[in-house]
């Protein structure tokens, strides 16, 4: 789906345009700039742009939806349709005429309203992702990305000659105690890497060339600029977050090494073998808490249906004062796993979609009745209700996004956190009120999710994509560098040396179809704890570790106030008004302070091996 843009930092240099197109853009922009414009002139242009933009965006989104929900091996129908729709969208958004007009108007932005300037800046930012100053590059990139999506989601994973689904791989890594089986399934999950590598080599070049046409040095820098930041500023911010949480992560890493070695009756390793962990990329270790007596919440979903899980999420938002989801959400979404005999496949990565930037909201999931999907459903519906909140006339179409990209994830993840806290689960009948309360086990589960995710997202993924795009990392070094980063940031190593015949980084969905933005998730976790802390202390008057949002319309009012502006206001202003602070990890560390003390006691006499940052 075309990425909806929100804000932009303008890059005035056009030195990377071709000589002819550069001269044309500069000349016409100068002509517009030399003509005195009025707010009425600009508004007429913005209105006209929005109408055509929405039409083409919707057509592209519908084609992308089909490409993600109905993948038939050997059938290129969706690919052709998606390619054509995306090319039409790109031709308009990145058109030379629009670039000229936008730049000319921005040269007189002192005569315009702030919301008009914000729209124009967002439109120019979007143009840089598909500028028609380099139409051939844009066309080739669209075709390559469509092809990559089909390779990614049309792949058949095999274990011992037998096809397995991604859900089966994930289930094995969560539950199996057989080291050999774990390794077989983990290695199967990485087998797709070589298939994807030629496509990423090509896409790396095309993505860089696309944004370079409007002066950005590389695709990673372009994506970071959406925050109003340089690449160096973003890397400093992510590193600062990681340094803040490093003491707690070091204790979790040490605890996991010793506990898993004891579980598998093997010597304690220096670093964590990747196949020991309950996630393909080591990005969440939450299931390890079960060994510590944490509640097995999957038991609460026995007898429930997958539809009940989704409807329960909707019921939660309605209890806060939000409206019921439109009937079209259930009619058009793809919410459940395909049957084993399905003649087609679909993307199994959970996502939320705002197809027409108004009423057509959908979710793509593979919901099963278990605790993971219960949390994920609440998370994804957070995105849906965010879409609904800012889909109103006061928010221009081109500004219908989060305050920044991380805000969408922050809202979803915050609701996911709240949906798994004991008072909420008791209130929803998923946990008995007289069940043994083990707050430390619950904190451990949460830390093995939220804290463990940070080195993966802000470290391994962010640094790899930075080196991929900004440093043009040679393809014959990709796997080695990937595992160097995983060891440094996460303290994780592969079960055996893996050479450049593999491409393990590329097995992560986002590197293929959501590139250069993974730090969004890390920033969203810092944001969610700051916002959750505000809700707990100032609205609910509850311990942040034991909250129940359900039925509290004050929480709903706070969320609507936060979400309703969309991207029409600067994200830093929204954050300061929401939490009274700049972005930091203080709330995360305060939340897990009792667990940190317990882990230090558990690890007394044990050897820490996690590298310093």
Between 247-251, 304-308, 577-581, the lowest mean confidence (pLDDT) is in 577-581
Euclidean distance between CA atoms 183 and 273, whole angstroms: 10
Quote the percentage of the chain above a pLDDT of 70: 93
| pLDDT score of 1 more than 60 | no
Q: What is the dihedral of CA 172, 173, 177, 183, to 10 degrees?
A: 100
- Judge residue 215's burial from the number of C-beta atoms within 10 Å of its C-beta, 0-12 exposed, 13-18 middle, 19 or more buried: middle
- The answer to whether residue 576 sits within a structural domain is yes
Euclidean distance between CA atoms 494 and 548, whole angstroms: 40
Q: Are residues 209 and 326 in the same domain?
A: no
Q: Are residues 380 and 479 in the same domain?
A: yes
| pLDDT score of 17 more than 50 | no
- The answer to whether residue 185 sits within a structural domain is no
Identify the pLDDT of residue 76.
84
Q: Are residues 206 and 333 in the same domain?
A: no
Identify the pLDDT of residue 380.
96
Domain count, the chain: 2
| pLDDT score of 490 more than 80 | yes
Top-confidence residue, 492 or 432: 492
Residue showing tokens 């700051």:
530
Alpha helices in 16-95 (DSSP H): 19-34, 39-69, 77-93
Strands 162-164 and 157-159, how do they pair? antiparallel
Q: Are 355 and 326 in contact (CB under 8 A)?
A: no
> Residues 167-193: pLDDT tens digits?
899 999 999 999 999 999 999 999 999
Top-confidence residue, 14 or 478: 478
Identify the pLDDT of residue 150.
87
> Residues 329-356: pLDDT tens digits?
999 999 999 998 999 999 888 999 999 9
Q: Are residues 55 and 197 in the same domain?
A: yes
> Residues 503-538: pLDDT tens digits?
999 999 999 999 999 999 999 999 999 999 999 999
Q: Are residues 316 and 417 in the same domain?
A: yes
| pLDDT score of 381 more than 70 | yes
Alpha helices in 470-605 (DSSP H): 478-485, 509-513, 519-534, 553-563, 571-579, 586-591, 593-602
Helix-helix angle 135-153:77-93, to 10 degrees = 140
Euclidean distance between CA atoms 456 and 488, whole angstroms: 10
Q: Which of 271, 577, 557, 528 is nearest to 407 (CA)?
A: 528
Q: Are residues 244 and 212 in the same domain?
A: no
- The answer to whether residue 229 sits within a structural domain is no
Top-confidence residue, 360 or 35: 360
Q: Token pair for residue 376? A: 């994920």
The separation between CA 532 and the C-alpha centre of its own chain, rounded to angstroms, equals 19
Contacts of residue 215, Cβ cutoff 8 Å, sequence gap at least 6? 11, 12, 13, 14, 15, 16, 17, 128
Top-confidence residue, 5 or 271: 271
Identify the pLDDT of residue 533.
93
Identify the pLDDT of residue 291.
52
- The answer to whether residue 64 sits within a structural domain is yes
Residue showing tokens 């393809």:
475
- The answer to whether residue 79 sits within a structural domain is yes
What separation in angstroms does the CA of 196 have from each of 153, 154, 248, 505, 508? 11, 11, 35, 10, 10
Identify the pLDDT of residue 295.
55
Q: Are residues 362 and 462 in the same domain?
A: yes
User: Which of the 8 DSSP states describes residue 265?
Assistant: T
Q: Are residues 257 and 198 in the same domain?
A: no
Q: Are residues 480 and 528 in the same domain?
A: yes
> Residues 74-87: pLDDT tens digits?
888 888 899 899 98
Q: Are residues 203 and 326 in the same domain?
A: no
Domain of 394, CATH number, reads 1.10.1370.30
pTM for this one? Answer: 0.84
| pLDDT score of 28 more than 80 | no
> Residues 554-609: pLDDT tens digits?
999 999 989 999 999 999 898 888 778 889 999 999 999 999 999 999 999 999 99
Q: Are 560 and 390 in contact (CB under 8 A)?
A: no
Q: Are residues 538 and 482 in the same domain?
A: yes
- The answer to whether residue 133 sits within a structural domain is yes
| pLDDT score of 259 more than 90 | yes
Q: Angle CA(220)–CA(405)–CA(310) in degrees, nearest 5? A: 130
Top-confidence residue, 273 or 19: 273
Range of the domain at 144: 19-155+192-216
Average pLDDT over residues 205-228: 95
Euclidean distance between CA atoms 22 and 96, whole angstroms: 10
User: Which of the 8 DSSP states describes residue 397?
Assistant: G
- The answer to whether residue 179 sits within a structural domain is no
Alpha helices in 156-294 (DSSP H): 166-175, 179-190, 193-212, 219-225, 231-264
Helix-helix angle 478-485:462-469, to 10 degrees = 150
Euclidean distance between CA atoms 582 and 526, whole angstroms: 10
- The answer to whether residue 23 sits within a structural domain is yes
Q: Angle CA(87)–CA(93)–CA(98) in degrees, nearest 5? A: 130
Q: What is the mean pLDDT of the chain?
A: 91
What separation in angstroms does the CA of 348 have from each of 70, 165, 334, 522? 11, 9, 10, 22
| pLDDT score of 20 more than 50 | no
- Strand, coil or helix: 436: coil
Q: Are residues 330 and 382 in the same domain?
A: yes
């Amino acid at each position: 789906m075309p990425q909806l843009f929100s804000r932009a930092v303008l890059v005035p240099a056009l030195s990377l345009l071709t000589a002819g197109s550069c001269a044309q853009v500069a000349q016409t922009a100068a002509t517009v700039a030399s003509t005195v414009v009025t707010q009425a002139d600009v508004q007429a242009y913005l209105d006209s742009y929005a109408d055509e933009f929405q039409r083409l965006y919707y057509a592209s989104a519908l084609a992308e939806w089909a490409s993600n929900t109905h993948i038939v091996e050997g059938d290129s129908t969706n690919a052709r349709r998606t390619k054509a729709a995306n090319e039409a969208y790109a031709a308009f958004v990145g058109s030379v005429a629009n670039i000229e007009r936008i730049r000319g108007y921005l040269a007189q932005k002192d005569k315009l309203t702030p919301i008009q300037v914000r729209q124009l800046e967002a439109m120019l930012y979007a143009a840089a992702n598909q500028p028609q100053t380099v139409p051939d590059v844009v066309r080739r990139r669209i075709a390559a990305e469509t092809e990559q999506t089909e390779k990614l989601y049309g792949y058949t994973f095999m274990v011992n000659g037998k096809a397995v689904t991604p859900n089966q791989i994930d289930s094995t890594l969560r539950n199996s105690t057989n080291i050999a089986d774990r390794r077989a399934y983990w290695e199967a999950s990485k087998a797709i890497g070589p298939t994807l590598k030629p496509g990423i080599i090509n896409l790396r070049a095309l993505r860089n060339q696309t944004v370079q046409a409007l002066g950005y040095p590389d695709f990673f820098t372009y994506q970071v600029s959406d925050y109003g930041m340089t690449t160096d500023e973003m890397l400093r911010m992510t590193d600062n977050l990681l340094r803040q949480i490093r003491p707690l992560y070091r204790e979790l890493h040490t605890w996991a090494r010793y506990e898993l070695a004891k579980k598998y009756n093997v010597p304690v390793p220096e670093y964590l073998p990747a196949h020991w962990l309950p996630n393909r990329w080591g990005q969440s270790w939450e299931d390890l808490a079960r060994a510590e007596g944490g509640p097995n919440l999957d038991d609460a979903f026995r007898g429930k249906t997958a539809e009940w899980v989704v409807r329960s999420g909707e019921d939660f938002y309605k209890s806060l004062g939000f409206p019921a989801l439109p009937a079209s959400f259930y009619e058009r979404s793809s919410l459940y796993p395909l049957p084993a005999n399905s003649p087609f496949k679909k993307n199994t990565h959970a996502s939320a979609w705002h197809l027409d930037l108004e009423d057509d909201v959908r979710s793509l999931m593979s919901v099963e009745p278990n605790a993971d999907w219960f949390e994920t459903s609440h998370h994804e519906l957070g995105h849906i209700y965010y879409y609904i909140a800012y889909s109103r006339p006061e928010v221009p179409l081109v500004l219908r996004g989060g305050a920044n990209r991380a805000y969408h994830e922050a809202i979803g993840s915050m609701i996911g956190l709240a949906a798994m806290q004991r008072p909420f689960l008791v209130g929803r009948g998923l946990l008995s009120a007289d069940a043994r309360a083990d707050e430390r086990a619950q904190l451990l589960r949460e830390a093995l999710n939220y804290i463990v995710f940070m080195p993966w997202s802000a470290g391994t993924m962010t640094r790899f994509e930075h080196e991929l795009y900004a440093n043009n990392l040679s393809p014959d070094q990709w796997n080695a560098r990937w595992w160097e980063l995983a060891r440094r940031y996460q303290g994780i190593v592969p079960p055996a040396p893996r050479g450049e015949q593999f491409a393990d980084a590329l097995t992560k969905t986002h590197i293929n179809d959501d590139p250069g933005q993974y730090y969004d998730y890390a920033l969203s976790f810092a944001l969610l704890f700051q916002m959750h802390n505000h809700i707990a202390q100032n609205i609910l008057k509850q311990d942040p570790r034991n909250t129940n949002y359900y039925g509290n319309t004050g929480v709903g009012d706070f969320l609507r106030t936060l979400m309703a502006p969309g991207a029409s206001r600067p994200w830093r202003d929204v954050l300061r008004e929401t939490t009274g602070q700049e972005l930091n990890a203080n709330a995360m560390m305060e939340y897990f302070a009792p667990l940190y003390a317990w882990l230090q006691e558990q690890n007394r006499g044990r050897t820490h091996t996690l590298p310093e940052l």
